[in-house]
Structure 1
Amino acid sequence: MADREGLPALLTLQERLKFLFETVRPPGKARYSFRQVAEAIKTEHGVEISGQYIQQIESGERRNPGVVQVRALASFFGVPPEYLLGGGETDKVTGELNRLREAIEVRERLDEMMDDAMRDPDLQGIVLKARGVPPRYLQLVAGMLDEVRRIEGLDEVTDTDRGRPH
């Protein structure tokens, strides 16, 4: 179920916590484990909480967690405690988290593309030769490659495709 802006309608603590686990992730990983979150909360906030307790909240098995635990979870995920409790600007925070998730997905796709490209020995050689070359000459080489792509009938590569704004 989504609201009129296309954002998920997160009506319960369970849904909001599940959304945080799906959205706020460690770099290059699918999601935090319940144990990782529990250990970080204990280390950073001194709050005793187990991975199982967090899993019970996320699954809906535990519906009324303690205030201290809710505050610690909110702090870990970088949201106000009111977000988890459904008060305040829940829709605004959900929208910001969606934008964060979209940005992370774009970054991951770019990283994948770069990883794929760097497996090509010919490209590796070009990159190694380009190290230390002044920017004005790199721009000259980029222009030459653009011309080769045009001659060969390949798609144009824009600055956005290279991961830089225009």
Structure 2
Amino acid sequence: MDDQSLPRSDGADLRPTTTLADKINALIIERWRGQKPPGNAVIAEQIRTETGLSISTGYLWMLRTGVRDNPTGARLQALARFFGRSPSYFLDAEGTEPDDQLSAALRSKDVVQIALRSDGLSDHSKKAILSMIEHARMIERLDDH
């Protein structure tokens, strides 16, 4: 697949996600944020492993390039499950659900654990933890554009 036809993994070239191909490519970038996403063969294998959907490398390439843009309901549900979205995400012409960023973060068991363990802490302690998280994000340059 031609890497120049896709948005960059560093987020510098993110485009509006209006087509199915745009949405899938944006979700791939989001899933592998901060690192270079693997190739279609690896992604297709992970989709097969995590969802049970039989998807070929070639079919994933066709979806990512827009050659195919109308997957079956079962494929749409498997893609939604793999990327932590509802199937309607792929059908919505506007391109995003209101809680996409939260949904993506909550796929991480560590993020959920941090949220659960902070419940009941004082406001002062929560602010201190948030400050530590912001500092760690700055060190790791996660918010640099």
TM-score under structure 2 length normalisation: 0.54
| Alpha-carbon distance between aligned partners in 1 of 2:74 and 2:91, rounded to the nearest angstrom | 12
User: CA 1:162–1:50 in structure 2 vs 1: closer, same or farther (change >3 Å)?
Assistant: same
Equivalent position SS for 2:46? helix
Which deviations, in whole Å up to 9, do the C-alpha atoms of 1:15-74 show, x marking residues without a partner?
A: 111111122117x63113222221122222221101211111010011211111111111
**Structure showing greater Rg:** 1
Q: Which letter maps to 1:38? A: A
Match of 1:83 in 2: 89
Match of 1:53 in 2: 59
Alignment of 1:59-70 (within 5 A): 59-70=65-76
Match of 1:17 in 2: 24
Asked if the contact 1:83/1:93 (under 8 Å) is kept, the reply is: no
User: CA 1:91–1:52 in structure 2 vs 1: closer, same or farther (change >3 Å)?
Assistant: same
| Alpha-carbon distance between aligned partners in 2 of 1:160 and 1:43, rounded to the nearest angstrom | 32
Match of 2:123 in 1: none
Structure of higher RCO (CA pairs closer than 8 Å, 6+ residues apart): 2
Cα displacement (A) at 1:89? 8.0
Note the aligned Cα RMSD (angstroms): 3.5
Match of 1:36 in 2: 42
Q: Which letter maps to 2:26? A: F
Asked if the contact 1:15/1:58 (under 8 Å) is kept, the reply is: yes
Unaligned runs of 5+ in 1: 1-6, 101-157
Equivalent position SS for 1:92? coil
Q: Which letter maps to 1:163? A: A
Unaligned runs of 5+ in 2: 1-13, 106-130, 138-145
TM-score under structure 1 length normalisation: 0.48
Divergent runs of 4+, >6 A: 158-161
Which is helix-richer, 1 or 2? Answer: 1
Larger CA deviation: 33-42 vs 61-70: 33-42
In the alignment, does 2:136 pair up with 1:163?
A: yes
Sequence identity percentage:
31
Aligned pair count reads 99
Which deviations, in whole Å up to 9, do the C-alpha atoms of 1:83-131 show, x marking residues without a partner?
A: 122269824245x27x96xxxxxxxxxxxxxxxxxxxxxxxxxxxxxxx
| Alpha-carbon distance between aligned partners in 2 of 1:88 and 1:11, rounded to the nearest angstrom | 6
